Amino acid sequence: MSKRILITGAGSGFGRGAALELARRGHQVTAGVQVAPQATELMANAAEAGVEMTVMVLDITDEDDRRAAFAHEVDVLINNAGIMESGPASEIPMARVRKNFEVNVFGTLAMIQGIAPQMVKRGSGKIINVTSMGGLITVPFVSIYTATKHALESITEGLKFELAGTGVEICTINPGAYGTGFNDRGAETMFRWLDPATSLTRPEIFQAFMEGGGLDDQLDPQGLIDAMVELAEEEGSKFRNVVPAEIIPWIKAIDEITWDAGPDTVLFLDPASLG
């Protein structure tokens, strides 16, 4: 059955892949991209793939862009748009902190508030928030980004309770480290303002993170795109969907550490340490 699907952040990565595949499967896709050149590129991608979709400029922090999106009837809202600002929390410029929250939290919440009323009125719909494994754990040096995803997890949990019985389904999808370029570009943002030689973080800690930051073995994005498409199409989804499922024990192990952590406890684990 064809669904009317609005997906944000469709100019690249997961969003673009999911938008094209959902359109290929016959859904009525409205793909929101941040800037006009991305719209031109995505329309060309769709034509090349032989699929039909509506592409619109949708900067989720822009009220006029959001208003245009709210005019669409939507069965499934996929909140995929997001940015990453990195750097030590004790030093990152507050303007960058606010920017990260404006997009990942406030812009996403504004999209929900604009689309949820029509779903509740109709008695059906689905809201999928793309959070992150970083919504469940904190990754050093990207704690501001992971804080935005923690906030989005909390908002999503609240929505699930508050909209119970309305016919609106609420769920998250939590990607691990996938090689879309998003993680790499996000990790680079700190070097626009941070000098590691003068950072408050001890050099050996900074160096250990840089050597083991986990960006060398990122996963094929297609796995997450497939999971996103399945989540959009199915009925009765699980609330939380961590992809790949193999990282769930690692996430839970890190959370367990925090309960009894002492002054010298490192609140992180090398995934390889779990065997």
Where do the CATH 3.40.50.720 domains begin and end in the chain?
4-243
8 Å CB contact between 44 and 69: no
For 159-203, write each residue's pLDDT tens digit.
999 999 999 999 999 999 999 999 999 999 999 999 988 999 999
User: From residue 76, how far is each of 119, 149, 169, 229 by CA, in Å?
Assistant: 9, 20, 9, 11
Confidence category of residue 275, pLDDT binned at 50, 70, 90: low
Domain 4-243 belongs in CATH node 3.40.50.720: yes
Task: Reply yes or no on whether 145 is catalytic.
Answer: yes
Q: Report the amino acid identity of residue 63.
A: E
| Catalytic member of 141, 145, 178, 206 | 145
Phi, psi of 212 (to 5 degrees): -125, 30
List for the chain the helix, strand, coil content (%; round to 5): 50, 15, 35
Q: What whole-number distance in Å separates Cα of residue 36 and Cα of residue 43?
A: 11
> What does residue 172 show for φ and ψ, rounded to 5 degrees?
-120, 160
CB 181 within 8 A of CB 12: yes
pLDDT band at 23, cuts 50/70/90?
Answer: very high
What is the gyration radius of the CA atoms in the chain, in angstroms?
19
The pTM of this model reads: 0.96
Residue 22 reports pLDDT greater than 70: yes
* 67 three-state secondary structure: helix
User: How does pLDDT run across 44-82, given as a tens digit for each residue?
Assistant: 999 999 999 999 999 999 999 999 999 999 999 999 999
